[in-house]
Amino acid sequence: MVAAYDDRDGVIWMDGAFVPWRDAKVHVLTHALHYASSVFEGERAYGGVIFKSREHTERLLKSCDYIDIPHPFSVEEIEAAKAAALRESGLSDAYVRPVVWRGSGPDMGVASARNPVHMAIAVWEWGAYYGDAKLKGAKLDISKWKRPSPETIPCFAKAAGLYMICTMSKHVAEAKGCSDAIMMDYRGYVAEATGANVFFVRDGKVHTPKPDCFLNGITRQTVLQMLKERGVEVIERHIEPGEMEGFEQCWLTGTAAEVTPVGSIGEFSFEVGALTRSIAGDYEKLVRGQLAAA
């Protein structure tokens, strides 16, 4: 049985120092708990090296800017802290989770400018996000929830509040025996899964939703560059849901998901084809330093 995340051995980096894992706590009146004033990153280390670490750190601070959280540390300080946290974990292949939040202080309403900003970095072992889906293809539901308009929320931040509808969507999907769910955007176009971007293949060309109202993932950008270097034509555009019937292959990309084939989305089925397997294999080589960086 997997241990609860608050009951593990080891240490967590918090505000510049390491604390025992079980003592890494916040007060119940922490502003982030009540008003979602929190941003985070998901990163993976392979062979003791965090893949595209600096890009993740820069995005973390950009997310802070999007939701008006002051930077608690510089890029260089965060990079050093992540490296130290990875070393302290004793792990070579690991998941790295930096998180920044507004804590408890004199403000306990919507406004929180006077409350201190905190940061923590936790590292743990985490295998394949979708289990054996890398072999047979993930089964996805179609969520009733839509990614919001950029006019309603800072949708390009990796912010905690943006994941509420993702959690709800994934719970429904899992209850149906699916691994995840695909979400449409506010206009009804195909957007992304709850924590991963999506790619489709038809007639040798790759189609992927235009990230104009959701996160343009670092893994997504990496795979786009890999496809470009292969000479594969990639079309970034708005994709109607009905178009999924005509696609032959599909895969998801994300730090946790890496490159995961998709076998079905709702009533639509896909083969785990040659291009999907090849990109997944090359991505694995790339993150482990066995392929030239994209």
* Boundary of a domain, candidates 84, 101, 124: 124
Does residue 1 lie in a domain region?
Answer: no
Domain that holds residue 94: 11-124
293 located within any domain:
no
Residue 158 bears catalytic tag: yes
What CATH number should be reported for the domain holding residue 38? Answer: 3.30.470.10
Residue by residue, DSSP assigns the chain as -PPPTTS-SSEEEETTEEEEGGG----TT-HHHHH--EEE--EEEETTEETTHHHHHHHHHHHHHHTT---SS-HHHHHHHHHHHHHHHT-SSEEEEEEEEE-SSS--SS--TTSPEEEEEEEE----TTTTHHHH-EEEEEEEEEEPPTTTS-TTS-BGGGGHHHHHHHHHHHHTT-SEEEEEETTS-EEEESSSEEEEEETTEEEEE--SSS---HHHHHHHHHHHHHT--EEEE---GGGGGG-SEEEEEETTTEEEEEEEETTEE----HHHHHHHHHHHHHHTTSS---
Contacts of 35 (CB under 8 A, 6+ apart): 102, 110, 112
Token pair of 148 as six digits: 């919001």
In this structure, which amino acid lies at residue 53? S
Assess whether 18 and 102 both reside in one domain: yes
For residues 104 and 37, the answer to whether their CB atoms sit within 8 Å is no
Catalytic one of 158, 176, 210, 285: 158
Separation CA 107–CA 168 (nearest Å): 29
Using the 3D structure, point to which of 91, 124, 157 is the last residue of a domain: 124
Number of structural domains (the chain) is 2
Do both 102 and 213 map to the same domain?
no
Clarify whether residues 109 and 231 are in a common domain: no
In a domain, 86, yes or no: yes
* CATH code (residue 249): 3.20.10.10
Which of 81, 97, 124 represents a domain boundary (last residue)? 124
Question: What is the pLDDT tens value at each position of the chain, 294 positions in all?
Answer: 678 999 999 999 999 999 999 999 999 999 999 999 999 999 999 999 999 999 999 999 999 999 999 999 999 999 999 999 999 999 999 999 999 999 999 999 999 999 999 999 999 999 888 887 777 899 999 999 999 999 999 999 999 999 999 999 999 999 999 999 999 999 999 999 999 999 999 999 999 999 999 999 999 999 999 999 999 999 999 999 999 999 999 999 999 999 999 999 999 999 999 999 999 999 999 999 977 654
What residue type is assigned to position 175 of the chain?
A: A
